[in-house]
């Protein structure tokens, strides 16, 4: 019984992890570069992992090291597309404010506005999921002209 209790306390401690702060694309790239420079100078992966501000799993570091060796500078760019962690903070606030200014923007309009403002590429499906979670819906413009033309005949 004591063993079970210890296990459940341990599990609770693991669940109550603090969410990591939002890290910009440049900060992440700089941290990756810093980590690779440390490793190339002979620092162990574990020590390099502790010295950089961006948390990365050991396996991820080895994958990055391999990519740097094969792809060079391109390895540092983040190729994720539409990942949910991208739509936080300022981007979410921008979405809500954009809806207040533009009554019913299409997904492609929003996608372009976010890309211009934040240099962030989101898929339309991801954008629609975020819209739904914020309660922002798209209302198609009414097609009154067609209805008026029919009524005039």
C-alpha 66: how far from chain center: 24
Triad 23, 121, 62: Cα angle to 5° = 50
The mean pLDDT of 71-87, rounded to a whole number, is: 69
How many CA atoms lie less than 13 Å away from 91 in the CB half-sphere?
Answer: 25
pLDDT tens-place string over residues 26-74: 888 888 899 999 999 999 999 998 888 888 889 989 999 999 998 888 8
Exposure string (b/e) for 54-63, b if CB count within 10 Å is 16 or more? eebeeeebee
pTM above 0.75, yes or no: no
| Whether 118 contacts 150, CB under 8 Å | no
pLDDT at 133 over 50: yes
Q: Is-contact 95 134, C-beta < 8 A?
A: yes
Distances (CA, A) of 122 to 115, 116, 118: 8, 12, 11
Predicted local confidence at residue 13, as pLDDT: 47
Query: Encoding tokens for residue 118?
Result: 């934040």
Does pLDDT of 24 surpass 80?
Answer: no
């Amino acid at each position: 019984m004591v063993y079970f209790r210890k296990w459940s306390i341990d599990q609770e401690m693991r669940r109550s992890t603090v969410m990591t702060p939002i890290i910009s694309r440049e900060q992440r790239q700089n941290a990756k570069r810093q980590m690779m420079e440390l490793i190339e100078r002979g620092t162990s992966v574990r020590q390099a992992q502790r010295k950089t501000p961006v948390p990365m799993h050991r396996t991820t570091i080895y994958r990055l090291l391999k990519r740097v060796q094969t792809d060079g500078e391109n390895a540092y760019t983040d190729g994720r597309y539409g990942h949910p962690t991208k739509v936080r903070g300022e981007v979410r606030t921008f979405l809500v404010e954009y809806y207040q200014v533009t009554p019913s923007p299409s997904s492609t309009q929003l996608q372009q506005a976010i890309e211009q403002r934040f240099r962030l590429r989101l898929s339309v499906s991801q954008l629609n999921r975020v819209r739904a979670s914020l309660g922002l819906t798209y209302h198609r413009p009414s097609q009154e002209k067609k209805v008026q033309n029919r009524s005039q005949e």
